[in-house]
Amino acid sequence: MEASIQNTINQWLEGAYDEATKQKIQALIDAGNETELVDSFYKELEFGTGGLRGIMGVGSNRMNKYTIGAATQGFANYLNSNFAGQQVKVAIAHDSRNNSDAFAKVVADVFSANGIKVYFFESLRPTPELSFAIRQYGCQGGIVLTASHNPKEYNGYKAYWDDGAQLIAPHDKNVIEEVRKIKDVTDIKFEGNDSLIEVIGKETDELYLNKIKELSVSPEAIARQSDMKIVYSPIHGTGVTLVPEVLEKFGFKNVTVVEEQATPDGNFPTVVYPNPEEKEAMSIALAKAKEIDADLVMATDPDADRVGIAVKNHKGEFQLLNGNQTGALLIHYMLEAWKKENKLTGKKFVVKTIVTTELIAEISKAFGVELFDLLTGFKFIAGKIKELEGQKQFIVGGEESYGYLVGDDVRDKDAIASCAFIAEMVAFAKDQGKSVFDQLLDLYVEYGFYKEHLISITKKGKSGAEEIQAMMKSFRDNPPSEINGSKLVTIKDYELGIEKNVVTGEEKKIDLPKSNVLQFFTEDGSKVSARPSGTEPKIKFYFGAKEALADKSQYDEVNAKLDQKFQDIIESMNLVEKPVTA
């Protein structure tokens, strides 16, 4: 074992940690479980695109009272220094995961022990409501305890700034520096001050839901389609607290909540992986939808910032839509509604991420609305909204990983609002005698059949992280000259901040923050993006391709052609496929 790892283990065994923690460490030592010890202690948990996230357990590289306490102490020190002379305020929420409530109380205690006022949700709440609460109560920061859609052994800690968005530069790195200054567990103030902790709940829910309702663009269509059949599953998470309520507030009267997945449970007993991107996680909801002949199926992840949907396709069968399809439909729906109201005045904008479908770019261009293409991570979308406040108005945005935002009262992806607007979109289509799938095919005929595919290669632990780094280095140092027989024309390296024309050798600067992402564009219009995940031990490859769709009747044929093209690309790049999308 490396000396640095052994030294960290010794610090935990000899330091001011509780006896239960020390006994668990000693048990690993006695069992000779070196692999677990190395993975638990070889580094400290770091902020990624989604904050702090990891497996629960003892150690510096695990989610526990001490790693969360150190992160909170560092954040508290940074907040107090940035807002000196003010009464600093934060909001805290948690999801349904095991230990989330206990971790949230640790966070509240550490903040209050540092003289910071805490607005503490009385029970589990969705992540987007935490973002809303920060803005509503004039907080300087906030924390939500969640690991989003990760497996049950994970938990996480998302840190937010005063605009209700997750930390971005320079605050993210500065907070990490403050955490690193904490050299001993005794530097963490664990004894809370209850007088600074204010419990919030239903009153905040009502404010939040009312703001969402104000954004509705088709109330008349909903009134006519109020009995539309909707099946909804919270997948044992926080969505159950507000999704049924927001649908009722919008006017939907026929909502069936999947009973087997309605109870919040951090063990996620009915699913392998609590992710609405997975067909397996949606299977119970789909069965219920078939039973009652529903119009729409929706499911949210445990912290209710992502939503997956299914609708009937051209064959009358339920089909899961991926994040790109739902995002394109939702953005088109909102832009069309705003255009009808003559509200597209030239100072509006929409947002997507660089790995999200280019169909959204075509739609935005057709409506004459400015599109910003940003790095993966909703914090960058929130950052653009903040940057343009008072100059341009944000309408809607989204990313391929099933996260969308309508309006700017929240500054993170919002599945509560998204569920309401997806249901409204379906009701609007039905009111016109069409299905949402019909509308998707209309988009493909008008703008081109854009299709995307995602594979994810998991590499766990220290060795896995090194393998992922090696893969990125290989692609960066030795990019392919062609992909699936089509010559490479452009390389975008977001780590170096350079876009290179492979044919001419011309280079130009990419005006975005640095990020370890590579994109390859070929002569035939294919697009391949490689990106190590910031929150999970995996590297993701995103593929995009386009074909003309002259008529809806050709959908199956062109769809099969694109699927085969993706498989050919994957084989040509020698990638092992582990799909995370249906």
Reduced 3-state DSSP string for 283-299: HHHHHHHHHHCCCEEEE
548 falls in which pLDDT band (50, 70, 90)? very high
Give me the sign of the Cα torsion angle 420, 425, 431, 437: negative
48 falls in which pLDDT band (50, 70, 90)? low
Looking at domain 207-447, which CATH architecture does it have?
Answer: 3-Layer(aba) Sandwich (3.40)
**Does the annotation count 148 as an active-site position?**
yes
pLDDT score for 534: 67
Instruction: Say if residues 8 and 60 touch (Cβ distance below 8 Å).
Output: yes
Q: What is the pLDDT of residues 485-529, one digit of tens each?
A: 999 999 999 999 999 999 999 999 999 999 999 999 999 889 999
Distance CA 243, CA 280 (A): 21
Q: Which fold has domain 50-200?
A: Alpha-D-Glucose-1,6-Bisphosphate; Chain A, domain 3 (3.40.120)
Q: What is the pLDDT of residues 1-45, one digit of tens each?
A: 899 999 999 999 999 999 999 999 999 999 999 999 999 999 988
pLDDT score for 65: 96
Domain ranges of the chain: 1-42, 50-200, 207-447, 449-572
Q: Identify the active-site residue in 96, 148, 515, 529.
A: 148
Domains 50-200 and 207-447 equal at CATH topology level? yes
Q: What is the mean pLDDT of the chain?
A: 95
Check: pTM over 0.95? Answer yes or no.
no
pLDDT score for 580: 43
Cβ neighbours, 10 Å, residue 282 = 28
Check whether 582 has a pLDDT greater than 90.
Answer: no
What share of residues in the chain are helix, strand, coil (percent, to 5)? Answer: 40, 20, 35
Of 178 and 207, the one with more pLDDT: 207
Distance CA 148, CA 579 (A): 18
Instruction: Say if residues 76 and 111 touch (Cβ distance below 8 Å).
Output: yes
Distance CA 127, CA 407 (A): 16
Check whether 262 has a pLDDT greater than 50.
Answer: yes
Q: Which CATH number fits domain 449-572: 3.90.550, 2.40.128, 1.10.10, 3.30.310?
A: 3.30.310
Give the whole-number percent of the chain exceeding pLDDT 90.
90
The arithmetic mean of pLDDT across residues 208-222, rounded, is: 98
SS (H, E, C) 329-392: HHHHHHHHHHHHCCCCCCCEEEEEECCCCCHHHHHHHHHCCEEEEECCCHHHHHHHHHHCCCCC
581 falls in which pLDDT band (50, 70, 90)? very low
Check whether 571 has a pLDDT greater than 50.
Answer: yes
**Residue 479: closest CA among 495, 467, 491:** 491
Q: What is the pLDDT of residues 292-308, one digit of tens each?
A: 999 999 999 999 999 99
Give whole-number Cα distances, 572 to 477, 521, 576, in Å: 18, 15, 11
**Residue 93: closest CA among 109, 104, 102, 107:** 104
pLDDT score for 475: 96
Distance CA 218, CA 253 (A): 16
- Total residue count of the chain as it appears in this document: 582
Cα first-last separation, the chain: 41
Q: What is the pLDDT of residues 102-160, one digit of tens each?
A: 999 999 999 999 999 999 999 999 999 999 999 999 999 999 999 988 889 999 999 99
pLDDT score for 579: 47
